[in-house]
């Protein structure tokens, strides 16, 4: 059975999300990109459709679905707008997953029901001085009675402008190095917590990216996720899953770019015939389709391994690496097929090209993925 085969339930979800993306998201794409702002009504619809809590158990208001279904939803949304895709991605594959895996019964009850129904989640690991070296973070957490006092700044936090719940990492014992890193569930309303400057980005502009400021932010010890000092393990394992989802985002983006390129090539006429009749254009489209299918197979393979409880770290790195590289290449070629109009905002391919760039950077750069793959190969 081919990896791209879907059972009836998965196919229904894919088709539902595809229809939603084309009917509800597509009319808002240009406006949201220009304004660098996610439409609040669209966020509400994402919750109403159950797309913000796909894997969350039904007892907490979620859909009780699979990781693979998260991947399908992200892919279909990203074919229309990767900014919307990343909102669903962060919520499901790193925030929800972190709390489902590491949260205690009380934390699951308190937070998962909100994340499934009305609250945006964010994942706060990166800082100005810790990007690829994620565990060089400087944010500290000092025990104070039944609380921790957090101080520091987080950078490049997706969905932060709209976020209400933050899985945030700080070092509770800097002398212990990475073994002091601890994960906390921080709420926007907590004293000493604020959302700072919003980045003005080249791509995925409707997805907010902001700094977080922690100025003697008081967080109850009951909000420690997992155990004190186990944050590095939570971060590593969660990001491994998130990388598959970024691969899905990039696969969806590439599909969108290819769709636009094929449509335009059939319509645009030169020398008395559609440019799709020229072998040079046909070869470009064929190469784009091959790279896209390879990316999709890698992403689906990683997702299905994860759902089966099998090792998937190397496959996740391969999926993210290849899909992000392919998406940028496919989006660029789609612009070329459009010719001069491809670089104008009258056509959607220039936006997809801008959106593709981040795929090779966030949740582990392409070089980090290659390093991960190589380490698995040589042991």
Q: What tens digit of pLDDT does each residue of 130-149 get?
A: 878 877 899 999 999 999 99
pLDDT-derived band at 3 (thresholds 50, 70, 90) equals low
| DSSP 8-state assignment for residue 331 | H
CA triplet 228, 229, 234: central angle to 5 degrees? Answer: 95
Chain centre to alpha carbon of residue 140: 26
Of 94, 174, 162, the closest CA to residue 136 belongs to 174
Considering the chain, tell me which residue range(s) the CATH 1.20.140.10 domain(s) occupy: 233-378
Amino acid 195: pLDDT: 98
Tokens 């707008």: give the residue: 81
Dihedrals phi, psi of 210, to nearest 5 degrees: -135, 165
What would the pLDDT profile of 13-57 be if each residue is shown by its tens digit?
Answer: 999 999 999 999 999 999 999 999 999 999 999 999 999 999 999
DSSP state of 177: G
Active site residue 363: yes
**332-336 long-range Cβ contacts below 8 angstroms, 24+ apart:** 332/356, 333/257, 333/261, 333/284, 333/287, 333/288, 334/257, 334/258, 334/260, 334/261, 334/288, 336/284
User: pLDDT (tens digit, 9 = 90+) per residue, 266-278?
Assistant: 999 999 999 999 9
User: What are the two backbone dihedrals, phi and then psi, of residue 153, each rounded to the nearest 5 degrees?
Assistant: -135, 140
- Above 70 in pLDDT, residue 227? yes
CATH 2.40.110.10 residue ranges of the chain are: 122-229
pLDDT of residue 2: 60
pLDDT category at 1 given cuts 50, 70, 90 is very low
Q: Report the CATH architecture of 122-229.
A: Beta Barrel (2.40)
Q: Which listed CATH number (1.10.287.310, 1.10.3720.10, 1.10.10.10, 1.20.140.10) goes with 233-378?
A: 1.20.140.10
* Cα–Cα dist 19/292, whole Å: 21
State the chain's mean pLDDT as an integer: 97
Residue 21: closest CA among 3, 37, 45, 55: 45
342 Cβ neighbours under 8 A, 6+ residues apart: 334, 335, 336, 349, 350
CATH of domain 8-120: 1.10.540.10
The residue-averaged pLDDT of 339-365 equals: 97
Q: How far apart are CA 97 and CA 112, in angstroms?
A: 10
Phi/psi at 61 (5° precision): 95, 5
Extract the tokens encoding 370.
Answer: 């290659």
CA dist 190 and 148 (Å) reads: 12
Q: What is the pLDDT of residue 134?
A: 74
Does pTM top 0.85 for this prediction?
Answer: yes
pLDDT in tens, 230-252: 999 999 999 999 999 999 999 99
What is the C-alpha to C-alpha distance for residues 299 and 204, in angstroms, rounded to an integer?
Answer: 21
Which of 55, 75, 127, 363 is flagged as catalytic? 363
């Amino acid at each position: 059975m081919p990896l791209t085969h879907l059972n009836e339930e998965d196919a229904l979800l894919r088709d539902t999300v595809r229809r939603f993306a084309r009917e509800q998201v597509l009319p808002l794409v240009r406006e949201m990109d220009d304004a660098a702002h996610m439409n609040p009504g669209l966020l509400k619809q994402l919750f109403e459709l159950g797309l913000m809590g796909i894997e969350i158990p039904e007892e907490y208001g979620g859909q009780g679905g699979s990781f693979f279904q998260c991947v399908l939803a992200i892919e279909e949304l990203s074919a229309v707008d990767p900014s919307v895709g990343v909102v669903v991605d962060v919520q499901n594959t790193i925030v929800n997953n972190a709390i489902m895996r590491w949260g205690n019964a009380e934390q699951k009850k308190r937070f998962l029901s909100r994340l499934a129904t009305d609250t945006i989640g964010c994942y706060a690991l990166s800082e100005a001085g810790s990007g690829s070296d994620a565990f060089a973070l400087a944010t500290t957490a000092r025990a104070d009675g039944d609380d921790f006092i957090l101080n520091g700044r987080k950078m490049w936090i997706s969905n932060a402008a709209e976020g209400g719940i933050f899985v945030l990492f700080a070092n509770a014992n800097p002398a212990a190095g990475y073994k002091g890193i601890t994960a906390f569930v921080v709420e926007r309303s907590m004293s000493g917590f604020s959302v700072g400057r919003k980045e003005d980005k080249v791509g995925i502009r409707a997805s907010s990216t902001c700094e977080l400021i922690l100025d003697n932010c008081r967080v109850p010890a009951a909000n420690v996720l997992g155990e004190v000092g186990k944050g590095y393990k939570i971060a590593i394992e969660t990001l491994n899953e998130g990388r598959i989802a970024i691969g899905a985002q990039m696969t969806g983006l590439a599909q969108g770019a290819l769709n636009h390129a094929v449509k335009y090539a059939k319509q645009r006429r030169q020398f008395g015939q559609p440019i799709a009749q020229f072998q040079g254009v046909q070869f470009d489209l064929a190469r784009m389709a091959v790279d896209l299918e390879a990316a999709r197979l890698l992403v689906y393979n990683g997702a299905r391994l994860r759902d089966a409880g099998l090792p998937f770290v190397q496959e996740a790195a391969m999926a993210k690496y290849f899909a992000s590289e392919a998406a940028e290449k496919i989006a660029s070629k789609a612009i070329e097929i459009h010719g001069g109009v491809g670089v104008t905002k009258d056509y959607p391919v220039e936006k997809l090209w801008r959106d593709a760039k981040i795929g090779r950077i966030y949740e582990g750069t392409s070089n980090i993925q290659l390093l991960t793959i190589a380490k698995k190969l040589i042991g």
